[in-house]
Amino acid sequence: MKGKMNAVVEQNEKPDQTQSTETAQEFAAPGVNILETKDAYLLEAEMPGVSKESLNIGVEGNILTLAGRRQPVVRANLLYRESGPADFRRVFELDSSIETDKITATLEQGILSLTLPKAEEVKPRRIAVN
Protein backbone atom coordinates (compact mmCIF):
# COMPACT_ATOMS: atom_id res chain seq x y z
CA MET A 1 0.00 0.00 0.00
CA LYS A 2 2.98 2.28 -0.31
CA GLY A 3 1.96 5.71 -1.51
CA LYS A 4 -1.74 5.08 -0.83
CA MET A 5 -1.97 6.16 2.80
CA ASN A 6 0.57 7.83 5.05
CA ALA A 7 0.43 8.50 8.77
CA VAL A 8 1.05 12.20 9.21
CA VAL A 9 1.30 12.53 13.00
CA GLU A 10 3.82 11.28 15.48
CA GLN A 11 2.95 8.54 17.97
CA ASN A 12 2.36 11.11 20.72
CA GLU A 13 1.93 14.76 19.93
CA LYS A 14 4.02 16.90 22.21
CA PRO A 15 2.92 20.35 23.29
CA ASP A 16 4.79 22.97 21.31
CA GLN A 17 6.83 25.58 23.11
CA THR A 18 4.38 28.44 22.44
CA GLN A 19 1.42 26.76 24.15
CA SER A 20 0.90 26.88 27.87
CA THR A 21 0.87 23.51 29.61
CA GLU A 22 -2.76 24.13 30.58
CA THR A 23 -3.99 24.32 26.96
CA ALA A 24 -1.58 21.84 25.38
CA GLN A 25 -3.01 18.38 24.89
CA GLU A 26 -1.28 15.09 24.29
CA PHE A 27 -2.86 12.22 22.44
CA ALA A 28 -2.23 8.51 22.49
CA ALA A 29 -1.87 7.20 18.94
CA PRO A 30 -3.89 4.04 18.54
CA GLY A 31 -2.06 1.10 17.03
CA VAL A 32 -3.31 0.33 13.53
CA ASN A 33 -3.28 -2.51 11.03
CA ILE A 34 -3.85 -1.72 7.36
CA LEU A 35 -4.84 -4.47 4.97
CA GLU A 36 -5.56 -4.43 1.25
CA THR A 37 -8.17 -6.32 -0.73
CA LYS A 38 -8.86 -5.98 -4.44
CA ASP A 39 -11.74 -3.56 -3.69
CA ALA A 40 -10.64 -1.63 -0.60
CA TYR A 41 -8.16 -0.89 2.13
CA LEU A 42 -9.12 -2.04 5.62
CA LEU A 43 -7.88 -0.01 8.58
CA GLU A 44 -8.15 -1.41 12.10
CA ALA A 45 -7.35 0.92 15.02
CA GLU A 46 -7.08 -0.17 18.66
CA MET A 47 -9.15 2.22 20.77
CA PRO A 48 -9.93 0.38 24.04
CA GLY A 49 -12.64 1.90 26.18
CA VAL A 50 -13.78 4.36 23.49
CA SER A 51 -17.54 4.39 22.92
CA LYS A 52 -19.32 5.27 19.69
CA GLU A 53 -20.53 8.48 21.36
CA SER A 54 -16.98 9.67 22.13
CA LEU A 55 -15.60 8.69 18.71
CA ASN A 56 -15.05 11.21 15.92
CA ILE A 57 -14.01 10.18 12.41
CA GLY A 58 -13.56 12.89 9.82
CA VAL A 59 -12.32 13.37 6.29
CA GLU A 60 -11.32 16.79 5.06
CA GLY A 61 -9.84 16.84 1.59
CA ASN A 62 -7.48 13.87 1.61
CA ILE A 63 -6.90 13.89 5.39
CA LEU A 64 -8.55 11.18 7.53
CA THR A 65 -8.68 11.89 11.27
CA LEU A 66 -9.57 9.35 13.96
CA ALA A 67 -10.20 10.72 17.44
CA GLY A 68 -11.80 9.31 20.56
CA ARG A 69 -11.89 9.65 24.32
CA ARG A 70 -11.79 6.80 26.82
CA GLN A 71 -13.84 7.59 29.89
CA PRO A 72 -13.43 5.46 32.98
CA VAL A 73 -16.51 3.68 34.26
CA VAL A 74 -16.73 4.52 37.96
CA ARG A 75 -18.82 2.13 40.01
CA ALA A 76 -16.99 2.42 43.34
CA ASN A 77 -14.23 4.30 45.13
CA LEU A 78 -10.98 4.13 43.18
CA LEU A 79 -8.16 2.46 45.14
CA TYR A 80 -5.58 1.97 42.39
CA ARG A 81 -5.37 2.92 38.69
CA GLU A 82 -3.19 1.81 35.79
CA SER A 83 -5.65 2.78 33.08
CA GLY A 84 -7.38 6.13 33.12
CA PRO A 85 -9.00 8.57 30.73
CA ALA A 86 -7.18 8.91 27.43
CA ASP A 87 -7.54 10.90 24.25
CA PHE A 88 -6.72 8.93 21.11
CA ARG A 89 -5.87 10.63 17.83
CA ARG A 90 -4.37 9.49 14.55
CA VAL A 91 -4.24 11.29 11.21
CA PHE A 92 -3.67 9.77 7.78
CA GLU A 93 -3.10 11.27 4.35
CA LEU A 94 -5.22 9.38 1.83
CA ASP A 95 -4.37 8.77 -1.81
CA SER A 96 -6.80 10.19 -4.36
CA SER A 97 -7.65 6.62 -5.45
CA ILE A 98 -9.71 6.17 -2.24
CA GLU A 99 -13.39 7.07 -2.51
CA THR A 100 -13.66 9.12 0.69
CA ASP A 101 -17.43 9.59 0.37
CA LYS A 102 -17.92 5.80 0.65
CA ILE A 103 -15.80 5.12 3.77
CA THR A 104 -17.64 3.02 6.37
CA ALA A 105 -16.76 2.35 10.01
CA THR A 106 -17.66 -0.05 12.82
CA LEU A 107 -16.55 -0.17 16.45
CA GLU A 108 -16.55 -3.52 18.19
CA GLN A 109 -14.76 -4.56 21.40
CA GLY A 110 -12.32 -1.64 21.26
CA ILE A 111 -11.37 -2.14 17.60
CA LEU A 112 -12.38 0.57 15.13
CA SER A 113 -12.63 -0.92 11.63
CA LEU A 114 -12.79 1.31 8.56
CA THR A 115 -13.33 0.21 4.98
CA LEU A 116 -11.74 2.61 2.50
CA PRO A 117 -13.07 1.68 -0.97
CA LYS A 118 -10.81 1.97 -3.99
CA ALA A 119 -12.00 3.96 -6.99
CA GLU A 120 -13.11 1.80 -9.92
CA GLU A 121 -10.23 2.99 -12.12
CA VAL A 122 -7.56 1.59 -9.75
CA LYS A 123 -9.18 -1.79 -9.08
CA PRO A 124 -7.59 -4.70 -10.87
CA ARG A 125 -9.71 -5.96 -13.76
CA ARG A 126 -9.63 -8.90 -16.05
CA ILE A 127 -9.55 -8.40 -19.79
CA ALA A 128 -11.35 -10.99 -21.85
CA VAL A 129 -9.64 -12.33 -24.95
CA ASN A 130 -11.92 -12.61 -28.00
pLDDT tier, 19 (very low <50, low <70, confident <90, very high otherwise)? very low
Q: What are the backbone angles phi and psi of residue 121, rounded to the nearest 5°?
A: -70, -15
Q: What are the backbone angles phi and psi of residue 120, rounded to the nearest 5°?
A: -55, -40
Give, in order, the Cα–Cα distances in Å from 74 to each of 2, 40, 77, 79, 110: 43, 40, 8, 11, 18
> pLDDT tens-digit profile of 70-120?
887 778 888 887 877 889 999 999 988 899 999 999 999 999 999 999 988
Q: What is the pTM of this model?
A: 0.74
Q: Which domains does the chain have, with CATH numbers?
A: 28-73+83-122 (2.60.40.790)
Q: What are the backbone angles phi and psi of residue 101, rounded to the nearest 5°?
A: -75, -5
CA–CA gap between residue 109 and residue 51 (Å, rounded): 9
